Amino acid sequence: MCEIFISADPASYESRTRSVRLHGVVTSIRLEQLYWVVLDEIARRDGMTVVQLIEKLYDELVAARGAVGNFTSFLRVSALRYQALVAQGRIPADLSIPIRSLDARTVLQQPAPGRQLPHWEPVSRRESAPATR
């Protein structure tokens, strides 16, 4: 099991700090390189830089919630959520399709009847004898 994870390129989990200006205030955001890669992909889909994406996310989060708690954690969750939605087929994998062109309610709805989300069966279950009931 662990080989799937430990074989990751160490560069992907090295931390990287970027300075961004949010409403005139310079702040630093420290994330692992893999998160920056995913945020860059999200930004490029909509013709933005990562800094522009971060500013947009910050502004929309403030507008929706009124306050920002741990913004760095929010960015990590956003990157993971994006990857999960792509894996589930809720966001098209085609990078030429801007995210802004998608209807959020449709993306966030449960899959249509008859359409299942990806399911991974554990290796141990596949290798073991069929269970009897």
CATH of 9-108, one of 1.10.10.10, 2.40.50.140, 3.40.50.720, 1.10.3990.20: 1.10.3990.20
Could you tell me the two tokens for 31? 């994330």
State the DSSP string of 31-82. EEHHHHHHHHHHHHHTT--HHHHHHHHHHHHHHHHSS-S-HHHHHHHHHHHH
Interval 4-23: pLDDT, tens: 888 888 888 899 999 998 88
Question: 52-108: per-residue pLDDT in tens?
Answer: 999 999 999 999 998 888 999 999 999 999 999 999 999 999 999 999 999 999 998
Residue 50: closest CA among 30, 36, 63, 34? 36
Beta bridge partners of 27: 20
Identity (one letter) of the amino acid at 16?
A: R
Q: What's the pTM?
A: 0.78
Residue 45 has pLDDT above 80, yes or no: yes
